[in-house]
């Protein structure tokens, strides 16, 4: 008599158990990969947006004092901490730090006031104001705050320094340098500066 060969119920259950363990392991690896890569991708995107916004901000800052003869700090350019003017001495090396910068420019005979304001959540706004550099109104958000509630992002700091500077290392010497200090996703600070060429 020939013995029959086949799969027993026990071997089916063992195979099912091994397959289940393998599947659970693969799902855990997939979950861990997603938990690692998505925040890293979001952080990279956020850092890229911040750098792009810094470039836009510096392009806006180049308008400060444009078309104004003898443009001067306090008269045509101001650093504010909230709505309080921060003094900037005439001495070389003097520093004014705040969360808002506003400036006047003369575009085709029309005086315009614009500026930038940092909010407490790490964002940066483009603002408009009146010809006395008052009535500051946020218009467009240039830098978004962090999308993660667990992130502790420092507000952007705006610093004016009395120092000789040159735009892109060439051209007319300016006397005021504006620096935006921004925290990135790795909690390091990026200093990005521009020379106010219309303040000589």
149 pLDDT more than 50: no
Interatomic CA distance for residues 113 and 149, integer angstroms:
34
Cα-based distances in Å from 65 to 45, 88, 186: 33, 16, 36
Interatomic CA distance for residues 166 and 197, integer angstroms:
7
Per-residue DSSP letter, 146: P
> Are the beta carbons of 153 and 183 closer than 8 angstroms?
yes
- Looking up tokens 């614009």 gives 114
- Average pLDDT over every residue of 98-117: 92
Distance between start and end Cα atoms, the chain: 109
pLDDT tens figures, 32-42: 777 776 666 66
pLDDT tens figures, 25-71: 888 888 877 777 666 666 667 677 777 778 888 888 988 889 898 88
> Are the beta carbons of 170 and 160 closer than 8 angstroms?
no
- E strand or H helix at 137, and its extent? strand 137-143
């Amino acid at each position: 008599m020939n013995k029959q060969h086949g799969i027993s119920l026990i071997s089916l259950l063992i195979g099912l158990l091994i397959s289940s363990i393998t599947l659970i392991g693969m799902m855990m690896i997939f979950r861990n990969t997603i938990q690692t890569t998505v925040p890293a991708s979001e952080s990279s995107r956020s850092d890229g947006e911040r750098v792009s916004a810094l470039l836009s901000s510096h392009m806006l800052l180049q308008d400060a004092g444009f078309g104004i003869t003898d443009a001067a700090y306090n008269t045509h350019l101001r650093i504010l901490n909230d709505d309080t003017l921060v003094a900037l001495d005439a001495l070389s090396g003097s520093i004014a730090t705040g969360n808002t910068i506003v400036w006047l420019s003369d575009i085709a005979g029309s005086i315009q006031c614009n500026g930038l304001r940092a909010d407490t959540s790490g964002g940066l706004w483009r603002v408009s104001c009146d010809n006395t550099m008052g009535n500051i109104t946020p218009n467009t958000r240039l830098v978004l705050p962090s999308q993660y509630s667990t992130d502790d992002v420092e507000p952007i700091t705006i610093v004016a320094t009395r120092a000789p500077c040159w735009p892109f290392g060439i051209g007319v010497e300016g006397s005021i340098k504006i620096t935006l200090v921004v925290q990135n996703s790795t909690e390091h600070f990026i200093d990005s500066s521009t020379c106010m060429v219309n303040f000589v």
